[in-house]
Amino acid sequence: MEELKNEALAQIAQATTTAALKEVEVHWLGKKGLITERLKTLGTLAPEERKNAGRDLNILKNEIQTAIAERTVTVAASEIQQQAASLFIDTSMPGIRARSGHLHPLTMVTEQVVDVFERMGFFTLDYPEAESEFFNFDGLNIPSDHPARDTQDTFYLTDGNLLRTHTSPGQVRAMREFAPPFKAIFPGRVFRCEATDACHEHTFNQVEGIMIDRSVSVANLISSMMTLLSGVFGRQVVVRLRPGFFPFVEPGFELDIQCMVCGGSGCPVCKRSGWVELMPCGLIHPNVIRAGGLDPAEWEGWAFGLGLSRLVMMRYEIDDIRWLMSGDLRFVRQF
């Protein structure tokens, strides 16, 4: 008995995990454990011996049980401590800086333009990039023999529609959609099938703006555009107005801005002229008012088409339009 007891207690003392203790328990007290087996053989002993052996075995069984229970408390506590230590997070360690994203310069300038116009009472509209010939051309008083319809300039879609070559189709759409008087802008991407260079890209951005009222003035048109430009550039910019021809306006103008990349001395962006065409504009042609479902005897309007990509280039002094669509992170991360 004494030997058995010492052996059991030694095993219990040596066990350093709760799993090991469980094994010791099974070894001694399990269904086929050493003590259990011995208790089963009591019946084969003589009655006198049986009594003593039974008592001693039960005392030993209790002692082993108690020892295991006590040891389990100690071992479990140290196991929990170890686990906690391995989970410890040192909150004083320097963190890993997450690289935050930001808006593309085109998006930033678009939002700025939208903001300036919305403060002047314009609302912002979004019209389809895949457009019909009617809205892109006919409705804008661009007859079918106009060079702008040349397949060189326009991407035609297989379903008979085309990719809009400018944001002007929104003029006719807006007049059909809203009751005048109103003023609205429609920013968006436009597409032209042309060779690319520092100032030409097949996909670029424009913002179209129109104001429809019973009587509108060129003075109001120009003052709206000056407000826009000083809003975007944060200072007065140098502009000039020239006559310009567009089938959908009469009279038509070209508003040029002095090149802000070279300051007017000449560079690839301004084709070495010192000026960049930024905003063609004019009073809406009566045929266009009519295409919009309004009576030109009753309603007038002005419109402008702002080259957003050019504006972004001027604003951030970008010398090649192709950077804008390049997807090059070295470019985008500079803003």
- Does position 139 interact with ligand DAH (CB under 6 A)? The reply is no
Closer to ligand DAH at the Cβ: 57 or 321? 321
Which residue, 56 or 133, has its beta carbon nearer to ligand DAH? Answer: 133
Q: Whole-number minimum distance, CB 247 to ligand DAH, in Å? A: 9
In the set 249, 257, 259, 308, which binds ligand DAH (CB under 6 A)? 249
Comparing CB distances to ligand DAH, the nearer of 207 and 270 is 207
Q: Which two tokens stand for residue 216?
A: 């509108």
Residue with smaller CB distance to ligand DAH, 246 or 323? 246
| Among 89-97, 181-189, 228-236, 246-254, the segment contacting ligand DAH (CB under 6 A) | 246-254
Q: HSE-up of 113 (CA within 13 Å, CB side)?
A: 27
Q: Which is nearer to ligand DAH, 65 or 196 (CB)?
A: 196
Residue 35 or 207 having the CB closest to ligand DAH: 207
282 with 303: CB under 8 angstroms? yes
Distance of CA 36 to the CA centre of its chain: 70
Tokens, residue 65: 């049980």
Of 164, 166, 183, 285, the residue at the interface with ligand DAH (CB under 6 A) is 166
Q: Which residues of 155-166 are buried (b: 16+ CB within 10 A; e: fewer)?
A: eeeeeebbbbbb
Task: Report, in Å, the least distance between residue 330 CB and ligand DAH.
Answer: 30
Give helix then strand counts, H and E, for the chain.
Answer: 11, 9
Q: Give 21 or 282: the residue with its C-beta nearer to ligand DAH.
A: 282
CB 331 to ligand DAH: min, Å? 25
Choose the binding region for ligand DAH from 57-65, 90-98, 113-121, 278-286 (rule: CB under 6 A): 278-286
Alpha-carbon gap, residue 125 to 137, rounded angstroms: 20
List 105, 170, 187, 280, residue binding ligand DAH (CB under 6 A): 280
Which of these, 116, 9, 113, lies nearest to 67 by C-alpha position? Answer: 9
Q: In this chain, which stretch among 16-24, 69-77, 110-118, 280-288 interacts with ligand DAH, using CB under 6 A?
A: 280-288
Q: Which is nearer to ligand DAH, 135 or 304 (CB)?
A: 304
Encoded tokens for 114: 């939208």
The tally of CA atoms less than 13 A away on the side-chain side of residue 246 is: 24
Contacts with ligand DAH by CB under 6 A: the residue count is 12
> Distances in Å between the alpha carbon of 114 and those of 31, 107, 122, 186, 187?
82, 10, 9, 9, 8
Could you tell me if 121 and 92 are in contact, meaning their C-beta atoms sit under 8 angstroms apart? no
**Contact between 258 and 264 (Cβ < 8 Å):** yes
Region of 87-95, 215-223, 245-253, 322-330 interacting with ligand DAH (CB under 6 A): 245-253
Interaction with ligand DAH in 290-329: which residues (CB under 6 A)?
303-305
Q: In the range 179-218, which residues lie near ligand DAH by CB under 6 A?
A: 208
Check binding of 168 to ligand DAH (CB under 6 A).
yes
Does residue 154 touch ligand DAH according to CB under 6 A? no
User: What tokens does 8 get?
Assistant: 């059991």
> How many angstroms separate the CA atoms of 322 and 202, rounded?
9
263: burial class by Cβ within 10 Å (0-12, 13-18, 19+)? Answer: exposed
Looking at residues 94 to 113 of the shown chain, list those that interact with ligand DAH (rule: CB under 6 A).
none
- Beta-carbon contacts of 43 under 8 Å, excluding residues fewer than 6 positions away, are 50
How near is the Cβ of 306 to ligand DAH at its closest, in Å?
8
Q: Are strands 182-191 and 275-284 parallel, antiparallel or unpaired?
A: unpaired
Phi (first) and psi of residue 2, to 5 degrees: -60, -40
CB 190 within 8 A of CB 205: yes
Pick 87 or 195: Cβ nearer ligand DAH? 195
Interacting residues with ligand DAH (CB under 6 A): 166, 168, 208, 246, 249, 252, 280-282, 303-305
